[in-house]
Amino acid sequence: MSHQDVINKPGTYALFLVYGLNRPDDIDSVKAALDGVPATVKSLRGRFPKEQVSCVIGFGSEAWDHLFPKRKKPAELAPFAEIKGGRHVAPSTPGDILLHVRATRMDLCYEVAAAAADFLGDSVFSLDETHGFRYLDSRAIIGFVDGTENPENEEEAEAAAVIGDLEPDFRGGSYVFVQKYVHDMKAWNGLSTEDQEKAVGRRKYDDRELAEGAKPENAHNAVTNIKGDDGSEIKIVRANMAFANPSQNEHGTYFIGYASTFAATRKMLENMFVGDPPGNTDRLLDFSEARTGTLFFVPSKELLEELAE
């Protein structure tokens, strides 16, 4: 089974579109989109081969139940359960269909998104639309390089992000979790560079990881470092993007993480928002608020074609 473009680089521009179903039984419009959106991407790739156009399509738990009631359901596909710590909350928000569109040009992202909207019509309504962009040299709005902890090569990325033998019926698929973070830039910029580096766990200028003795236990890259039973680090594939509406004083990071199992992502989130041990929460959360949280399943290309039929 071949996977959708889940291990692609974050890109230069991205559109994150989350839809709700207006008419859960209107499978025809959804099928039209499942057939038409990949065809649109293929056409744009032929016309603009260097612009890295892609679109990943995913489904929420309730949408899967409504749209494909006779099909087996991915084992971990369920509504995301809110994580509530002593000081921070990872909220659970609704979402039936996710489109993650990427390209080196925003006009091509628009072409894919506009085609999807035409196919879906009034069978859906918009829950969120976020326009992401690459900030400087792949940095988050807070000024640090993002995505450093991603797998280093394609083979490792596939192992981290794509379902294999553990769920043979869904081989080639992925679980994808999205969160929209809004940063308090005034408070963040009020910190010294040294304090910012301690919050992230990396140097700001050259992206070098802080030495173990200098890195606080609540640094972002410390609490999100998850190890398996064998002691090896468990990876996911992040395609985070910066977004902003400066006139509204909104500056944020759109987190999107692809994984072969959601359990790893869930553990990272629990470490961030509750702490391990409890109370050792991610220092970044003192400056960043999670506004959304939704889990989707991304079918393999072959399964997506079957669902379109």
- pLDDT value at residue 27: 87
Distance (Å, whole) CA 288 – CA 196: 13
- pLDDT value at residue 140: 95
* Residue 146 annotated among the catalytic residues of the structure: yes
Please list the pLDDT of the chain residue by residue as tens digits (309 residues).
899 999 999 999 999 999 999 977 778 999 999 999 999 999 999 999 999 999 999 999 999 999 999 999 999 999 999 999 999 999 999 999 999 999 999 999 999 999 999 999 999 999 999 999 999 999 999 999 998 889 989 999 999 999 999 999 999 999 999 999 999 999 999 999 999 999 999 999 999 999 988 899 999 999 999 887 777 888 999 999 999 999 999 999 999 999 999 999 999 999 999 999 999 999 999 999 999 999 999 999 999 999 988
- Out of 107, 146, 230, 276, which one is annotated catalytic? 146
Q: Name the E strands within the chain.
A: 13-21, 54-59, 83-84, 89-90, 97-103, 124-133, 174-183, 226-227, 233-234, 237-238, 241-245, 250-259, 288-290, 294-298
